[in-house]
Chains A and B, each alone.
Chain A
Amino acid sequence: MTGLAVDDAAWASAWRTRSPLDKLLLCGGLVGCALALPVWPGGVLVALAAVVLALGPARVPARTFGRAVRWPLAFVAVGALTAVVTVDGGGLGWAPGAGVRAGELVGHSVAGGAAVLLLATTTPMTDLLDALRRLRVPAAVVDVAGVTYRMLFVLLQSLRTIREAQTARMGHSTWRLSYRSSGMLAAAVLTRSWDRARRLQEGLAGRGMEAGLQVLPEARPSSPGFLAATAAGLAALVAAGVLGA
């Protein structure tokens, strides 16, 4: 357990052992379809496909999937509502075709969000970073992102522990105390991150680190069957989306 539900789901997913590039191709295709196809029926079909694949073959917990979309949906709801309200001299009113426009915005967002979540809940970040390395992103950038990923769980744990201790000492009982405690919390997390980085560097220097933090990646060969099913499924989605519109 890492403490981030989406990351936990990715490590436990039945698709964990599939090739990251295969999953990137599938989810990238779904994201593209969600963006380019009309919401009805293309966007709806993309959202259904992403949810069925996640909850079915990939065995992602429905609760995790549902909880992850709550905050994005809040932004989408507020943003879509604001986009379809019009302001004139007399006050607020609905823009022409407000219902259709709001539905399109929500549809594109839900479909795209579900496709991204399918990738996030089936592919751990370490696999994606390795895929980025193979896609020729500079090694130094991937290394920095890898250290960020590995260190953030330790820091999140520190954050929770320190905040719990502050709360137990009434450190968040008033606004004034809460801001003071939050400042001390941020400073403690920053100095701990520096301290950990320094100790890591000393440890690695002692082991003769000379270039990069590359580790042996697990071999995850691409599946011709998965790729063929992805191509067929995406082609069917595009056909249904274009012909049904």
Chain B
Amino acid sequence: MHIAEGFLPAGHAVGWTVAAAPFVVHGARAVVREVRENPESTLLLGAAGAFTFVLSAIKLPSVTGSSSHPTGTGPGAILFRPPVMALLGTVVLLFQALLLAHGGLTTLGANAVAFAVVGPWAGYGAYRLSRAAGGGLLPGVFAGVAVADLATYVTTSLQLALAFPDATGGLAGALVKFLGVFALTQVPLAIGEGLLGVLLFRVLTVNARPELERLGLLRPAATEQPTEEAR
């Protein structure tokens, strides 16, 4: 769910762009530093961006009988960390605006705050909390991916409510309206995307364990059994 081009008033579009800028610049600096130290990272980061774009193209069955598309930032935040996702998410949003006509250029800042900043940070926070509380990898992944999706949707609803407060209910009334309308698709989608994340990581723990160990998501197999880690 991206805010379409021209939907936000000019002041809000500029304000959200200014709000997104420090996070995107921080992500860009992290990427520049990483590429300077390890030039081969360019290709891995590019692959991560392409994966995020493609993940958002996977159709999941939805309660309405049609299908919905995941945001794709939750798994990315767990795998590559939120600062990198701030930049990669913004690049993906730019590509979605120009290749799929989803979102827009004046709303890129607002969408980046929801999709590339708040979603990944909230999702990563939920993942870390779950792991710190003793949860295994897969419960942590479910919490992280579902929270990333929900946080994106709540943030977008808040942005719309701030731009279009209700005539009688004000900001709170507008927030309830937007949360209620988009909850029909977004809440089932968040649960569905959480399940997709669990299935994704379950396959990865078997087929791509070395990569997960290199990314610090799993401890080396010599000290821990995969089945225990994945439980």
Q: Would you call A216 an interface residue if the criterion is a C-beta within 8 Å of the partner chain's C-beta atoms?
A: no
Q: Would you call B167 an interface residue if the criterion is a C-beta within 8 Å of the partner chain's C-beta atoms?
A: yes
Contact status A113-B4, CB under 8 Å: yes
Q: Mark A207-230, 1 if CB is under 8 A from B, else 0.
A: 001111100000000000000000
CA distance A161 to B37 in the complex (A): 36
CA distance A87 to B104 in the complex (A): 29
Known interface pairs A147-B47, A194-B47; A87-B168 also in contact (CB < 8 Å): yes
Inter-chain contacts of A116 with B (CB < 8 A): 5, 97-98, 101, 104-105
Inter-chain contacts of B92 with A (CB < 8 A): 148
Known interface pairs A35-B13, A82-B177, A186-B200; A152-B53 also in contact (CB < 8 Å): yes
Q: Looking at chain A, what size class is its interface with the partner chain?
A: 35 or more
CA distance A200 to B47 in the complex (A): 11
Query: Nearest Cβ distance between residue B37 and chain A, in whole angstroms?
Result: 11
**Least CB separation from B195: chain A residue:** A179
Contact status B42-A111, CB under 8 Å: no
Contact status B169-A88, CB under 8 Å: yes
Main secondary structure of the interface of B (DSSP, over half): helix
Chain B interface residue count, CB cutoff 8 Å, equals 74
Q: Would you call B176 an interface residue if the criterion is a C-beta within 8 Å of the partner chain's C-beta atoms?
A: yes
Inter-chain contacts of B28 with A (CB < 8 A): 138, 141
Contact status B6-A111, CB under 8 Å: yes
Q: Would you call B106 an interface residue if the criterion is a C-beta within 8 Å of the partner chain's C-beta atoms?
A: yes
Contact status A190-B42, CB under 8 Å: no
Known interface pairs A128-B98, A152-B53, A184-B203; A75-B2 also in contact (CB < 8 Å): yes
Residues of B at under 8 Å CB distance from A? 1-7, 10, 13, 28, 31-32, 35-36, 39-40, 42-51, 53-55, 57-61, 75, 87-88, 91-92, 94-95, 97-102, 104-106, 160, 164, 166-169, 173-174, 176-178, 181, 192, 195-196, 198-200, 202-204, 207-208, 211
Q: A95-B167, A190-B75, A191-B208 are in contact. List 12 more A-B contacts (CB 8 A).
A: A68-B101, A69-B101, A71-B102, A72-B102, A79-B3, A113-B104, A115-B5, A119-B98, A159-B57, A183-B200, A191-B211, A194-B44
